[in-house]
């Protein structure tokens, strides 16, 4: 004589509330559990409620040994087994039981997606990376949308040292998040960056570094990106050193007193002593300059900068006629840059614009870069973006312009 299915239905409610749920076929409501199965199933359910999931699995093996099980009884056993296996972290049992339940039609919809993701997570925790990637990909292919699955795929490939697939998966994850208006995780970006590095894929490594500073603008990421850019073949480092210093200073990665010293000395040499003064004074204010064995040298530079500024200011206010009469726009632009060094943008920008408009500049892209930076510092972001995006040089100017755009919170492309 069989027991009515109220036992089975109560079990399902308990399982659903705690972790997973499986919907019975409509006909199951008329099925029964035989009395010889009530004992092992009740014991299994009791162990499960107590959180003794390994013991639950052992008890279910006893239930499996009972001969003549009905389809419904086997369904109950498998439901409990899947729940206990998931909670105990037994991925092998969980995956096998999941397949059985899926084939029977007892797992579908959101339940099916949730269980696949749980199995992938178990494999990840047990460092079974290939199986983790397989289940996470199955989840995504079935319509799952939890971004954790994409992260597990790339992490699995990366942990298995399959860097090509790790980079590919990370790029897909990043694109998916960006399309959805979400921020890619720092871990995903790090996986892309390191995988590209191990594959000697410089282009992808720069993409990853750019996105790291875009979303997580830490000093270490800026340092890495700037280094990648300025060491590219064809980068005119000697000519653009002051611009490298400007960017490095602006993103806050200056920590070495020698960097402050070199930046200030170079600024004086090219005719922007006001910029040199700003750098030196910020170095002293930060306690980077004026201390240690080189403090005397720092003080001498400070005094030299002050004297240079005093002399420069006297001549700066002179008439612009001579610069305007020059055959090229370089003198006008240089005078604008001098004002830029003092932060006098109301005077700097018109002169810089006039210099570019006159033409004949020795390095037109350098001028556009400097104008874009000046616009940014003057708070004219729209004009800055326009100027910076117009730079197409292959000598490093366009690369630096991209970095300034990123710093300004604008995606370069």
| Through-space distance between the first and last CA atoms of the chain, rounded to whole angstroms | 74
Residue 31 pLDDT:
61
- Residue 33 forms beta bridges with which residues? 3
- Residue 244: both structure tokens together: 């490298």
- In Å, the largest CA–CA distance within the chain is 112
3-class secondary structure, 136:
helix
Residue 33 pLDDT:
75
Q: Which residue has the tokens 């001579």?
A: 322
Q: Which residue has the tokens 């289940």?
A: 135
Residue 1 pLDDT:
30
Residue 26 pLDDT:
40
Low-confidence ranges of the chain (pLDDT < 50): 1-30
> What does the alpha-carbon distance between residue 86 and residue 94 come to, in Å, rounded to a whole number?
6
> What does the alpha-carbon distance between residue 287 and residue 289 come to, in Å, rounded to a whole number?
5
Helix, strand, coil percentages (3-state) for the chain, rounded to 5, are: 75, 0, 25
Domains present along the chain, CATH in parentheses: 1-107 (no CATH), 109-216 (1.25.40.10), 229-407 (1.25.40)
Q: What is the DSSP string of 74-92?
A: HHHHHHHHHHHHHHHT-HH
pTM: 0.75
> What does the alpha-carbon distance between residue 350 and residue 413 come to, in Å, rounded to a whole number?
28
- Reported in sequence order, the residue ranges of 257-395 that DSSP labels E, i.e. its strands, are none
């Amino acid at each position: 004589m069989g027991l009515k299915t109220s036992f089975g239905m109560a079990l399902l409610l308990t399982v659903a509330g705690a972790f997973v749920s499986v919907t019975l076929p409509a006909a199951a409501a008329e099925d029964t559990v035989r009395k010889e199965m009530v004992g092992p199933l009740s014991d299994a359910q009791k162990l499960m409620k107590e959180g003794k999931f390994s013991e639950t699995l052992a008890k279910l093996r006893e239930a499996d040994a009972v001969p003549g099980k009905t389809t419904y009884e086997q369904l109950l056993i498998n439901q409990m087994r899947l729940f206990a296996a998931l909670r105990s972290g037994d991925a092998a049992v969980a995956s096998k039981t999941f397949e059985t339940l899926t084939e029977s039609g007892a797992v579908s919809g959101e339940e099916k997606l949730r269980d696949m993701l749980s199995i992938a997570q178990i494999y990840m925790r047990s460092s079974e990376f290939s199986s983790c990637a397989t289940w996470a990909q199955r989840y995504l292919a079935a319509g799952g949308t939890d971004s954790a699955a994409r992260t597990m795929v790339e992490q699995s490939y990366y942990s298995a040292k399959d860097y090509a697939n790790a980079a590919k998966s990370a790029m897909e994850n990043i694109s998916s998040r960006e399309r959805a208006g979400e921020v890619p995780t720092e871990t995903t970006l790090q996986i892309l960056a390191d995988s590209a590095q191990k594959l000697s894929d410089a282009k992808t490594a720069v993409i990853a570094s750019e996105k790291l500073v875009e979303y997580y603008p830490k000093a270490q990421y800026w340092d890495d990106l700037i280094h990648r850019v300025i060491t590219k073949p064809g980068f005119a480092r000697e000519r653009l050193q002051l611009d490298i210093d400007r960017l490095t200073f602006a993103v806050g990665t200056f920590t070495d007193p020698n960097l402050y010293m070199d930046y200030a000395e170079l600024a004086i040499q090219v005719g922007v002593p006001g910029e040199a003064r700003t750098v030196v004074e910020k170095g002293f204010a930060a306690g980077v300059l004026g201390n240690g064995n080189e403090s005397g040298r720092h003080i001498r530079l400070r005094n030299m900068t002050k004297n240079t500024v005093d002399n420069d200011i006297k001549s700066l206010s002179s008439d612009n006629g001579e610069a305007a009469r020059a055959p090229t726009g370089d003198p006008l632009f240089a005078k604008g840059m001098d004002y830029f060094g003092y932060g006098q943008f109301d005077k700097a920008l018109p002169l810089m614009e006039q210099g570019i408009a006159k033409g004949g500049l020795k390095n037109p892209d350098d001028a556009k870069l400097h104008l874009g930076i000046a616009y940014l510092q003057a708070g004219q972001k729209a004009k800055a973006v326009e100027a910076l995006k117009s730079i197409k040089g292959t000598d490093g100017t366009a690369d630096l312009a991209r970095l300034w755009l990123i710093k300004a919170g604008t995606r370069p492309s």
